[in-house]
Structure 1
Amino acid sequence: METLDIVIEDDRWTALDLEDHAAQAVRATLVHLNIDPEISEVTLLACDDTRIAVLNGDFRAKPTPTNVLSWPAEERAAAQSGGIPQAPEAGLDGLLELGDIALSFETCQAEAEAAARPFADHVTHLIIHGTLHLLGYDHVDDADATLMERLEVEILGNLGLDDPYM
């Protein structure tokens, strides 16, 4: 991957080897969608519930913790429900600036425990989920959700990880 910047605000993330999991998840997502990971840029913020609640309030008017947030560099949503979003195009510098993702430690950990899934697997899933959002995928309606979940399951399967929706 060209650039994966990781900002760790909560030291609990260091026990996970987040850099390896994030690089693997982002790369697998991009490769699956035929996007060159070698020219792609993504920033990941590894924070806690307090920080993500502020971000969620500021950007979505929902001042509560959530597992993952994403901010695409460009709007790429599909023209119609269930459609494929526009592929990113490289800028003048030849790079694909995809955007930013934030993850909250406490929420991710609680969800993994509630689902009886390994924490690392859940985090990998959420990074794939966030990367898909950066690429214009969403789950606003049933058709979009079906497409996005199918892609998540395929990408996780390529990594040898179980379907989180089963």
Structure 2
Amino acid sequence: MNTQNPGGNAPVIDVIVEAGNWPDERFLQDLFNRSFTAACRGADLKFLKSSELSVLCTNDQAIQALNKQWRDKNKATNVLSFPASEPQDDVYGPLLGDIVFGFETVEREADELGIEFQAHLTHLVVHGILHLFDYDHQEDDEAELMESLEVKILSDLGLENPYIDRPLMPDA
């Protein structure tokens, strides 16, 4: 099996900006690539070298429709992750999955938290990537593991702990 080492190159990340006042696609592409590489190092994620990941940047209306269709929750959310394949011997790919972001919710949360949009989006990208690799936060022990990985990965990216004085990532 031809696998990618955690410190190696990111998979092909296809960024689609569908709706919302997102930064330009080159900026987003760089943010997603850096976040993916840091997540791979920080969580020892393994994937096939030929892997692909799709990222959709859209608005709250579109993400609300997806949240209702796939999770039976009729409200907008910040990020949704859709894993594409089961791992073989803890190696994921070649299709890693899709991550979708809702602009207005991400922007509102960043404002409410008093942090830069880019920092909050980076946290959500890392969070979404971990979901693609079967990390979850439904149970307390899973949430603690996922949160600790996020804190480590974000620290490696030069960002502060997003959970200081805040609850775990809500299940929106």
Q: TM-score, normalised by structure 1?
A: 0.85
Read off the aligned partner of 1:155 and give its amino acid letter: I
Q: Relative to structure 1, is the Cα distance of residues 137 and 122 closer, same or farther in structure 2, using a 3 angstrom cutoff?
A: same
* Residues 30-41 of structure 1 aligned to structure 2 (within 5 Å): 30-35=40-45, 39=49, 40-41=51-52
Matched, 1:13 2:22: yes
Q: Relative to structure 1, is the Cα distance of residues 151 and 119 closer, same or farther in structure 2, using a 3 angstrom cutoff?
A: same
1:88–1:135 Cα contact (<8 Å) kept: no
Shift of 1:22: 1.1
Matched, 1:88 2:91: yes
Shift of 1:20: 1.1
1:56–1:69 Cα contact (<8 Å) kept: yes
- Aligned twin of 1:123: 121
* Residues 144-155 of structure 1 aligned to structure 2 (within 5 Å): 144-155=142-153
Separation in 2, partners of 1:36, 1:143 = 22
Separation in 2, partners of 1:97, 1:28 = 19
5+ residue gaps in structure 1? 77-85, 91-95
- Aligned twin of 1:81: none
Q: 2:108 aligns with which of 86, 106, 110?
A: 110
Alignment root-mean-square deviation, CA = 1.9
Q: TM-score, normalised by structure 2?
A: 0.82
Q: 1:61 aligns with which of 65, 72, 78?
A: 72
Separation in 1, partners of 2:79, 2:32 = 13
Percent identity over paired residues: 39
Q: Relative to structure 1, is the Cα distance of residues 89 and 56 closer, same or farther in structure 2, using a 3 angstrom cutoff?
A: closer
Secondary structure class of the residue paired with 1:45? strand
Secondary structure class of the residue paired with 1:140? coil
Separation in 2, partners of 1:163, 1:58 = 32
Higher relative contact order (CA 8 A, sep 6+): 1
Read off the aligned partner of 1:127 and give its amino acid letter: V
